[in-house]
Structure 1
């Protein structure tokens, strides 16, 4: 079994390719408090779905990043393709900063993705393209933005109630 520490070091060396990394930084964009976590900067080369991207590693190998605290509809469920296209329009080909939160059980890096001063995780929820993933959410603002999107009937919240199935329930019934 590979240790988390070794994975972090690998990601920092390979994915960041010498990009912006500041362990002493306690804040990151828009005043969000951050523990002394790693920050990766890399180009987005592929959108997997509405909450997962691939970035270009220094060795030209893609590295999968799961957006922290959100869960978008699966591609085969209502609004899944729309959420994927929305994320694609926002970040494909862009150099993004990723505040690393964790490595999940599938080995994916989990993080908050920023394009300039925009928190892309929040942008996706605010637009109604995904849910705040209550099981894993650490950013309470995501819960507020989800409620706002629901009340405004934005994105998937404009769909019939029968189509508003949280992805974690969709996956469970597959």
Structure 2
């Protein structure tokens, strides 16, 4: 003879979901505790610098270098000799890791016909070239302001002005 086993069915209801709900609430309470959150807070006393998509490092992560450059300004007359690593637009280049706003130069913005023309011209002149830049000790947004010259001594700002690609800054 065979033995017949009877199974009792559980009643459907909230009682079967209570342990699951309790675990979910407990887990979310642990994860969402303030000491487990790492929020980045902006110091209201410091200006916010928008970097323009990796302009400082051309996309690479060199955070310690960036912090130093954001908070300090070069002394007037400081010399920077390094290779051009990026051209932002007609009047802004990155020499080594330092963005330089070419002093006394006013070019149209990139995206306009004359701005793109100026950007192409400066790219042809300085891309991969080692420049000597004399910094003025002031900043324009995230950039040092300076006068940069080619290895043969020609001022790149003057080259762009004489060629009709940009105007002299009258600020």
TM-score normalised by the shorter chain: which range applies? 0.5 to 0.7
Is 1:7 aligned to residue 73 of structure 2? yes
Is 1:70 aligned to residue 70 of structure 2? no
Provide closer, same or farther for how the CA distance between residues 80 and 38 of structure 1 changes in structure 2, counting only shifts above 3 A. Answer: same
1:38 maps to which of 78, 82, 85: 78
Deviation at 1:133, TM superposition (A): 0.9
C-alpha distance in 1 between matches for 2:150 and 2:132: 7
CA contact (8 A) 2:147 2:155 kept: yes
CA RMSD of aligned residues (A): 2.2
Deviation at 1:77, TM superposition (A): 1.9
C-alpha distance in 1 between matches for 2:105 and 2:170: 8
Is 1:127 aligned to residue 170 of structure 2? no
Deviations 1:73-119 (A, max 9, x none): 11122311110010001101000000111322413101111002111
Structure 2: gaps (5+ residues)? 1-45, 47-67
C-alpha distance in 2 between matches for 1:122 and 1:102: 20
Is 1:49 aligned to residue 89 of structure 2? yes
1:83 maps to which of 112, 118, 128: 118
Higher alpha-carbon Rg: 2
TM-score normalised to structure 1 length: 0.54
How many residue pairs align between the two structures?
103
Structure 1: gaps (5+ residues)? 10-35, 57-61, 136-174
Is 1:97 aligned to residue 132 of structure 2? yes
C-alpha distance in 2 between matches for 1:107 and 1:76: 20
Provide the secondary structure at the position in 2 that maps to 1:41: strand
